Chain A
Amino acid sequence: GQQLNQSPQSMFIQEGEDVSMNCTSSSIFNTWLWYKQDPGEGPVLLIALYKAGELTSNGRLTAQFGITRKDSFLNISASIPSDVGIYFCAGQPLQGAQKLVFGQGTRLTINP
């Protein structure tokens, strides 16, 4: 089945540093979504990408839909304590309609 490889699995950074994470797949995806999940809560949508090559920002967050349609990255600039959490990439495969395939998540820890 389709899988998304998300890396890194965890990150330990200092407050103020920039963060970069990415997802890759062997299959083509039609849509890429990035979510953040806090403990005990549902994932919160951060950025949605619909076109290959699309670069979208949401405040300090920037994400891009890879040209090959098989990858996406998320950057967080000038990290702050509330950025702590687990970040997930999710893709909608061309044939899968509303079915989302998720990456394994990147756990972000920030040292003050």
Chain B
Amino acid sequence: KAGVTQTPRYLIKTRGQQVTLSCSPISGHRSVSWYQQTPGQGLQFLFEYFSETQRNKGNFPGRFSGRQFSNSRSEMNVSTLELGDSALYLCASSPGQLREQYFGPGTRLTVT
């Protein structure tokens, strides 16, 4: 099976802009989670989607949003970018609840 894919791999944006990141889960996986990784805060949970519904949400401001499509692909959007949003954004897919999660390679976002 193909692994989790994320596009784009690298992105440079300017403060105030918005960005959309894409994630395609492993075939058959219906749960998609998003995480932010920074040197200072480590890996932090953003949100999780299952069957097009957000099931869990982390402690991030409303500028961070996501959605999931009927084919389980997911997108994450960050509006009004801030310098502190620079991070590696990771998507993970899972076959079901409370099971292992498999990560994609991540999207490296740099905000200038």
The interface of chain A, by Cβ under 8 A from chain B, is: 1, 30-31, 33, 35, 40-45, 48, 50, 88, 90, 92, 96-105
Contact = CB atoms under 8 A, between A and B. Distances in A.
Contacts of B68: none
Contacts of B103: 35, 42-45
Cβ-closest 8 pairs across A and B: A42-B103, A102-B43, A48-B100, A98-B48, A99-B56, A99-B45, A43-B103, A42-B106
Contacts of A97: 48, 55-56, 97-98
Interface of B: 4, 6, 31, 33, 35, 42-45, 48, 50, 55-56, 58-59, 90, 92, 94, 97-106, 108
A13 to B, nearest CB: 23
Contact of B100 (A33, A88, A104): A33
Nearest to B96: A98
Contacts of A50: 98
Contacts of A35: 103
Q: Is the interface of B mostly helix, strand, loop or mixed?
A: strand
B55 A42 contact: no
Given A35-B103, A42-B105, A98-B50, A88 B43 contact: yes
Contacts of A104: 42
14 contacts: A33-B100, A41-B105, A42-B4, A43-B103, A45-B102, A90-B101, A97-B48, A97-B55, A97-B56, A98-B97, A98-B98, A100-B92, A100-B101, A105-B42
Contacts of B48: 97-99
Given A42-B92, A97-B48, 16 more contacts: A30-B98, A33-B100, A35-B103, A41-B106, A42-B90, A42-B105, A45-B100, A45-B102, A90-B101, A92-B98, A97-B97, A98-B33, A98-B97, A99-B48, A99-B58, A102-B43
